[in-house]
Amino acid sequence: MSSARWHVSKVPKNDIDSITIRGDHRKPYVQNYIREFGVRKCEANALVAAPQAGRQLCRNSILQHIPSEAVRTYNRKLTSARTQLQQALRDAISM
């Protein structure tokens, strides 16, 4: 299931019928979207109305483009850096 299909089927959205897409309406990706989902505008407010679904949509979209090991490596480095910072702050306070 594509990210767009997941978004349209799972996240509450504000639809505006018969919208005009500035200059992009003839581009293939817009035409593909219209064929698949119909003419509608999905507002960013839909993500605000369903923040957990919005976070999951963003996370899934990002994870399509990076290896899963990269997330684990980042988290390890972040944990290490936070530990070092906490120790430095404790040392500075105790001086």
Q: Are residues 47 and 81 located together in one domain of the fold?
A: no
Q: Are residues 55 and 81 located together in one domain of the fold?
A: no
Query: What is d(CA 41, CA 17) in angstroms, rounded to the nearest whole number?
Result: 7
Q: Are residues 87 and 59 located together in one domain of the fold?
A: no
If one compares 22 and 86, the residue with the highest pLDDT of the two is: 86
Average pLDDT, rounded, for the chain: 76
Query: What is d(CA 30, CA 42) in angstroms, rounded to the nearest whole number?
Result: 13
Q: Are residues 5 and 21 located together in one domain of the fold?
A: yes
**pLDDT tops 70 at residue 59:** yes
> pLDDT tens for residues 15-42?
444 444 556 677 888 788 778 877 765 6
| Contact in structure between 6 and 57 (CB atoms under 8 Å) | yes
| AA letter at 25 | H
Q: Are residues 37 and 81 located together in one domain of the fold?
A: no
pLDDT band at 43 (very low <50, low <70, confident <90, very high): low
